[in-house]
Structure 1
Amino acid sequence: MHQRKRVSPYLEYTDDGDLVPSPDRKSFHWADYLVFAAFLLAYIGIGAFQAIRNTFATKKENADDFLVGGRSMSILPVSISVLSAFLSAILILGTPAEIYTEGTQYWMYVIGQMFSCIFAALLFVPLLYPLRLTSSYEYLELRFGSRMAKLTGTLILIVMQLLYMGVALYSPATALYAVTGFEEWLNILIGGIVSIIYSALGGMKASVWTSVIQSAIMAAGVLAVIIQGSVDLGGIEHIWKRNEEGGRVEFFNFDPNPLTRHSFWTLVVGGTLGWLGTYGVNQSSVQRFCSVPTIKAARIVVLLNVPGLLFFMTICSLSGMTIFAWYDYVGCDPLKAGYIDNPNQLIPYYVMDRLGYPTVPGIFLACLFAGALSSVSSSLGALAAVTWEDMLKWRFGHLDNTRQMLIIKSLVVIYGAAGIGMAFMCQSLGGTVLQMSLSFTGAATGPLLGLFFLGSCFPMANWIGAVVGGACGLALPLWMSSGAYDLDVFNDQALNSSTFNCTNFTMPTNVTLPPTADEITGLSRLYLVSYLWYSPIGMATVVVVGLIVSLCTGLTDPMEVPAKYHMAIMDRLCCCLPYKTLHVMRCKYDMAHAYDEEEDEEIVVKAKEKEMNDYTYDNVALDNDSTPYYSTINPSTPAEFDESNYAMDENKPATNNGSVIKDDNPDLETFRL
């Protein structure tokens, strides 16, 4: 019998001196468990610290403090929190798996992500931030004058966040099972319970500060893979060369076929629209960029995600290339050899193989859980916020502060338990966690984006169109994504990988392959549409159906809708065009007064801090403590200020050329010149 010398948890030398993988697995060292537990306890400690701090603070914590951090948080930690909330362990596991199995085309997805941040800062931050909302879907009630429109957005958000939490919890669970043998159900429970504890204890502030630590841990874990691979293979240039020789380097596939899973168009166009819904209108994002004190700071929060996305997508893509280059060098693809069960386990397999020293795997698993906990925590905060503001506040808002906080924290626990249940459902689904996440959340993000576009860009749309369009926009892509998972299609374009040096591996014969994509006919071909188109399809469905239903049920008079609820999209994207051209492009509806302001001079200040006659005022908002907030502007077309048209008295509404400006929100009194 040949003698083998083990050189790592998964690799060994034969008596002939060949380095080959072994199917035997090694469990965690006790030091790994200790490190992993220390990180989990640290996250709980941050939540407990915030809870203790709030207990002994002079000003007792209220719903606004818990849900939006008192609207006084710093730019950098909030921006990092937004970034980690939407990337998490799904990125760390899914992106390397995608690059390993399908090549570098997916790297182009970062272009769409960066465009989405820019458009969100230009379009949605100026629309939503001045309204000082806790739930972003309060906008739908203000714009359409209907509680049903708001509840439509809220229910779609709840569906999306529960799906997302399920995938976020499942992703590190499957990775931990691959390298330790721990049952997935136990890992899911650990992640869910820890996130519930520190989210319920510390609220938004605990979520934001743990996200900062978690992002640093995630970056360190992925960089460790790249550094180890560079040392093993002689540098990044050798890693790149092996990927080129393996046919995995491709960036510009311009195939316009919507059935093509990944092309330049699906990744950039589909990615831009999908992530625009995430950064622009998703409750987790809006809740965070509304937690900073000024609209300029809110824009910066979103825009700082551009370099963050580029950094994380780059290192995660390079880690996938590193893993492929190593196993191509070894001569054995662990996925094809059956050493691991699915692509999601590739990166933890590599960590145990090449970085299997005591404490290192524990740190990397803490990296995976850091991402998962960040995503789950942000989702719990978002769900608690929309449920309280949109569904419960009208009924329980009269309760004292202590009881309100008890209800909100109970919502965190309830939704956390529901997210754990969704994670168990994810165990039965195939594919990478990346595709799973983008499929189901993309199906729900699209209709949310469509609702906001319908309301902000089409002043004639009514609430019935919003409700019916929202329901149709959610149903269609969810049906497509569900059907895609049930449809078994053989990928005849799969890239090759080496198995010549694998042990205990025999290529199966006489296997009946499922049909290829070209052999699928009829309605089932809709299931072949790239999952990255689900979000644009949902958005377009909402807008088209919403306008048709509005036309059939009676269009809204655009002049009855305050300009602040509309998005001067052409003014933002085509600001250099002449005024007459812009006036035609916005269907001759005058929105310049609400949006033509210089960004550098737009600030929000307390009324008591500035004298009224020092400014030209656009929006005056009375928040819950009855302190007016003012937004100062510098109009592009100066107008004479007539004090007779301005009313500071709450009982005397302001007028604009004799017309009363009305606002349907009883908590927000708005006066306009």
Structure 2
Amino acid sequence: MPVEVYMFGTVFIWYNVSILMTNAVALIYFIPVFHRLQLNSVYEYLELRFHPVIRKITSVMGMMNTMFYLGLTVYIPSLALSAVTPMSLYITIAITSATCTFYTTVGGMKAVIWTDVFQFLIMIVGMLSILFKGILVVGGFDIILSAAERGQRNNFLTFDPDPRIRSSAWSITFGFFFITCYETVCNQMFIQRWLSCPTIKNSRIAVGVSIIPVICLAMISIGNGIVMYAYYEDCDPLLSKNIFKIDQIMPRFAVDLFHDTPGMAGLFVAAAFCGTLSTVSSGINALSSLLVMDFILPKFPNLTAGRKLLISKTASLFFGGLVMLLAYFLSLSQSNVMQAVSSIIGFFGGPILGLFTIGILMPWIDYKGSFGGLLLGLACTGWIGISAMVYSADTATALPLSTQACNITTLTNTTLDKVITIYNTTLYTETTGTSSPNLFNTIYSISPFLYGALGFTMALVGAHVTSIFTGFSNPRNAEEKLFVPLIDSEIFPEKMRIFFRFGVPPYQATKSDKNDKPSEVKKMFCATEQRTGRGTSNKH
């Protein structure tokens, strides 16, 4: 996020609003259903609600999304380490991937949780060190704010509703709402954490408390981005060829700040690594869990706990190697990392989130409608995303960058008219004519942060259009434990609450629900940690 703020301004402060919206949705709608069912895999819900084929398709999509995401998160700190050490990028990628895979495979979920705690503390210390040192070096808040005004970075009140504007209050708030919503409520990485809590109440508390560190990190990142711009206001390191990728600007900033303080640049690299280690370790654990629960146990339901443990560890090693290869592949790209991550999640996450929303809130849609919605959502996001890459659609207007104070002769004061950042290339060019199709300046130019919202919307539309032809289900025949009413609070009139049940009978909690029996995922994690031979068979 500091790079995004450096390039596009403080409009990213609206990311915090999307986080609040996401957590509210998770608390009210998704956590009660998932905790009630005690799912082994988050995609198991789609089998219970729709069809086993839907579960397998979305599970593959989710795993592909997670692997690309983890590849990008490995690439980021590897790039930082290669920028401040003599090691090449390929070596740092191998070290990062191997470290994450090792302690995830050997230590299981317990190792992941404990390392997350320490890594978060190191991240906070590293980021705060850069923020405070940067403020002192630049000269204080007044100078920083003045630089932000001159560079047009103080743009958090940009409310233009045009979806082609890459970074506006609307595209950040609603675009990241769908992205973070998918990551929070439809992703095995997060769901396995919420289900590890003993009760629904505890899960809700965990989700609520998690808002605090996320928003704190976001605000520190925004602060670092603005301070970084004030520091490089008259000598952008990319244009002056001091770095070769824009994502290297943050480690470069740390080196410039702490060049006379031994160890501090290393602290920043450690902070960057901690964020990645935390994410990758959880992701590898989630991938191995999805493979076992969605593809192996349905075929071999009587595997012993020891066999499941062995398969899980082998899968962790396999996915760790695959993530390393993807990181190598992505290192060939010149794209902005945050945009690439958001686009990839939007491709897969938007339609998947649409399916879960249909399942929980729309009892009149059956598996035929859901399949139609999934296909339409994927088709739309794929069409627009690929077309944007092919035609290099302009999705952003860059803010001013300067090299007037640089000690170089090849560059002069430069104001960028455009930044074209599409997955496999980042180009800084002047405005030129194009022979692209008419859609070039319309739908192909939609902000990549809105791909998730587009996929979600098209999934809902596709599900209803398909159901017009295949028939709607009768909500009265629905299995009530798979649904959550849109409005079910006692502060609303009873007639309104009945209406928003859409005919689904009220759910009556059973004794087993209140006891919150552990799922297969919990048992597998327990076996990983305790190395016991006790286990249960999969219920499917």
Same-fold call, TM > 0.5? yes
Query: 1:496-536 deviations in whole A, cap 9, x for unaligned?
Result: 23312211242379x99465699854233432111111111
1:196 aligns with 2:101: yes
Taking a change above 3 Å as real, the CA distance of residues 318 and 505 of structure 1, as seen in their structure-2 partners, is farther
What is the aligned partner in structure 1 of residue 312 from structure 2?
Answer: 408
Taking a change above 3 Å as real, the CA distance of residues 496 and 414 of structure 1, as seen in their structure-2 partners, is same
Equivalent pair of 2:8/2:167 in contact (CA under 8 Å): no
Equivalent pair of 2:346/2:451 in contact (CA under 8 Å): yes
Q: Aligned partners of 2:84 and 2:250: how far apart in 1? A: 10
Taking a change above 3 Å as real, the CA distance of residues 492 and 269 of structure 1, as seen in their structure-2 partners, is closer
Q: 2:248 is matched by which residue type in structure 1?
A: Q
Query: 1:232-276 deviations in whole A, cap 9, x for unaligned?
Result: 133234322321232210112111111111111111122222211
Taking a change above 3 Å as real, the CA distance of residues 604 and 454 of structure 1, as seen in their structure-2 partners, is closer
Q: After TM superposition, give the deviation of residue 288 of structure 1 in Å.
A: 0.5
Q: 2:7 is matched by which residue type in structure 1?
A: T
Taking a change above 3 Å as real, the CA distance of residues 406 and 624 of structure 1, as seen in their structure-2 partners, is closer
Query: 1:305-337 deviations in whole A, cap 9, x for unaligned?
Result: 222221011000100111111122xx3221221
Q: After TM superposition, give the deviation of residue 555 of structure 1 in Å.
A: 2.9
1:580 aligns with 2:495: yes
Q: 1:667 is matched by which residue type in structure 2?
A: K
Query: 1:191-240 deviations in whole A, cap 9, x for unaligned?
Result: 11111111111111111111111111111111111111122133234322
> Normalization by structure 2: what TM-score?
0.88
What is the aligned partner in structure 2 of residue 389 from structure 1?
Answer: 293
Q: After TM superposition, give the deviation of residue 549 of structure 1 in Å.
A: 2.3
SS in structure 2 at match of 1:469: helix
What is the aligned partner in structure 2 of residue 452 from structure 1?
Answer: 356
1:522 aligns with 2:394: no
Query: 1:436-478 deviations in whole A, cap 9, x for unaligned?
Result: 1111112211111111111112212222322332233234323
1:507 aligns with 2:422: no
Q: 1:502 is matched by which residue type in structure 2?
A: C
Q: 1:397 is matched by which residue type in structure 2?
A: P
Q: After TM superposition, give the deviation of residue 396 of structure 1 in Å.
A: 2.9
What is the aligned partner in structure 2 of residue 109 from structure 1?
Answer: 15
Q: Aligned partners of 2:381 and 2:333: how far apart in 1? A: 17
Equivalent pair of 2:8/2:399 in contact (CA under 8 Å): yes
Q: Aligned partners of 1:250 and 1:220: how far apart in 2? A: 28
Q: Please, which moves more after superposition, 211-220 or 461-470?
A: 461-470
Taking a change above 3 Å as real, the CA distance of residues 624 and 161 of structure 1, as seen in their structure-2 partners, is closer
1:126 aligns with 2:32: yes
1:667 aligns with 2:505: no
Q: 2:23 is matched by which residue type in structure 1?
A: C
Q: 1:470 is matched by which residue type in structure 2?
A: L
User: Mapping of 1:136-155 within 5 angstroms?
Assistant: 136-144=42-50, 146-155=51-60
Q: Please, which moves more after superposition, 117-126 or 426-435?
A: 426-435
Q: 1:446 is matched by which residue type in structure 2?
A: G
Equivalent pair of 2:61/2:348 in contact (CA under 8 Å): yes
Equivalent pair of 2:171/2:450 in contact (CA under 8 Å): yes
User: Mapping of 1:337-376 within 5 angstroms?
Assistant: 337-356=240-259, 357-376=261-280
User: Mapping of 1:148-167 within 5 angstroms?
Assistant: 148-167=53-72
What is the aligned partner in structure 2 of residue 65 from structure 1?
Answer: none
What is the aligned partner in structure 1 of residue 420 from structure 2?
Answer: none
SS in structure 2 at match of 1:504: coil
Taking a change above 3 Å as real, the CA distance of residues 419 and 512 of structure 1, as seen in their structure-2 partners, is closer
Equivalent pair of 1:229/1:323 in contact (CA under 8 Å): yes
Q: 1:579 is matched by which residue type in structure 2?
A: E
Q: Aligned partners of 2:445 and 2:82: how far apart in 1? A: 31
Q: 1:389 is matched by which residue type in structure 2?
A: M
User: Mapping of 1:3-402 within 5 angstroms?
Assistant: 95-144=1-50, 146-328=51-233, 331-356=234-259, 357-402=261-306
Q: Aligned partners of 2:282 and 2:384: how far apart in 1? A: 27
Query: 1:418-443 deviations in whole A, cap 9, x for unaligned?
Result: 11121122123333211111111122
What is the aligned partner in structure 1 of residue 376 from structure 2?
Answer: 472
Equivalent pair of 2:167/2:396 in contact (CA under 8 Å): no
What is the aligned partner in structure 2 of residue 34 from structure 1?
Answer: none
Q: 1:367 is matched by which residue type in structure 2?
A: A
What is the aligned partner in structure 1 of residue 419 from structure 2?
Answer: none
Q: Aligned partners of 1:604 and 1:162: how far apart in 2? A: 33
Q: Aligned partners of 1:484 and 1:181: how far apart in 2? A: 37
Query: 1:100-158 deviations in whole A, cap 9, x for unaligned?
Result: 111111221111122111221111111111111121111111112x2112112211111
Q: After TM superposition, give the deviation of residue 605 of structure 1 in Å.
A: 5.3
Query: 1:590-627 deviations in whole A, cap 9, x for unaligned?
Result: 454459x9xxxx99654xxxxxxxxxxxxx869679x9
Q: CA RMSD in A?
A: 2.8
What is the aligned partner in structure 2 of residue 424 from structure 1?
Answer: 328
Structure ID, larger Rg:
1
1:545 aligns with 2:417: no
Q: Aligned partners of 1:339 and 1:506: how far apart in 2? A: 13
Q: 1:342 is matched by which residue type in structure 2?
A: K
How many residues are matched? 511
**Identity percentage of aligned residues:** 29
- 5+ residue gaps, structure 2, are 415-426, 524-536
Q: Aligned partners of 1:298 and 1:623: how far apart in 2? A: 15
What is the aligned partner in structure 1 of residue 475 from structure 2?
Answer: 558
SS in structure 1 at match of 2:452: helix
Q: Aligned partners of 2:191 and 2:226: how far apart in 1? A: 35
SS in structure 2 at match of 1:304: helix
Taking a change above 3 Å as real, the CA distance of residues 666 and 381 of structure 1, as seen in their structure-2 partners, is closer
User: Mapping of 1:602-621 within 5 angstroms?
Assistant: 606=515
Query: 1:340-398 deviations in whole A, cap 9, x for unaligned?
Result: 11221111001111112322222211111111111111111111111111110122332
Taking a change above 3 Å as real, the CA distance of residues 104 and 539 of structure 1, as seen in their structure-2 partners, is same
Q: Aligned partners of 2:88 and 2:475: how far apart in 1? A: 58
Q: 1:567 is matched by which residue type in structure 2?
A: V
Q: Aligned partners of 2:394 and 2:475: how far apart in 1? A: 51
Taking a change above 3 Å as real, the CA distance of residues 380 and 502 of structure 1, as seen in their structure-2 partners, is same
Q: Aligned partners of 2:394 and 2:195: how far apart in 1? A: 46
Q: Aligned partners of 2:21 and 2:512: how far apart in 1? A: 25
Taking a change above 3 Å as real, the CA distance of residues 576 and 341 of structure 1, as seen in their structure-2 partners, is same
Equivalent pair of 1:454/1:461 in contact (CA under 8 Å): yes
Query: 1:153-205 deviations in whole A, cap 9, x for unaligned?
Result: 21111111011011111111222222324221111111111111111111111
Higher relative contact order (CA 8 A, sep 6+): 2
Q: 1:104 is matched by which residue type in structure 2?
A: T
Q: Aligned partners of 1:342 and 1:532: how far apart in 2? A: 21
Q: After TM superposition, give the deviation of residue 487 of structure 1 in Å.
A: 3.6
Taking a change above 3 Å as real, the CA distance of residues 225 and 513 of structure 1, as seen in their structure-2 partners, is closer
SS in structure 2 at match of 1:569: coil
Taking a change above 3 Å as real, the CA distance of residues 586 and 238 of structure 1, as seen in their structure-2 partners, is same
SS in structure 1 at match of 2:400: coil
What is the aligned partner in structure 1 of residue 448 from structure 2?
Answer: 531
What is the aligned partner in structure 1 of residue 534 from structure 2?
Answer: none
Q: Aligned partners of 2:433 and 2:359: how far apart in 1? A: 38
Equivalent pair of 1:120/1:279 in contact (CA under 8 Å): yes
SS in structure 1 at match of 2:458: helix
- 5+ residue gaps, structure 1, are 1-94, 607-619, 628-664, 669-673
What is the aligned partner in structure 2 of residue 76 from structure 1?
Answer: none
Q: After TM superposition, give the deviation of residue 287 of structure 1 in Å.
A: 0.8
Q: Aligned partners of 1:505 and 1:592: how far apart in 2? A: 74
Taking a change above 3 Å as real, the CA distance of residues 591 and 429 of structure 1, as seen in their structure-2 partners, is farther
Residue of 388, 408, 413 corresponding to 1:484: 388
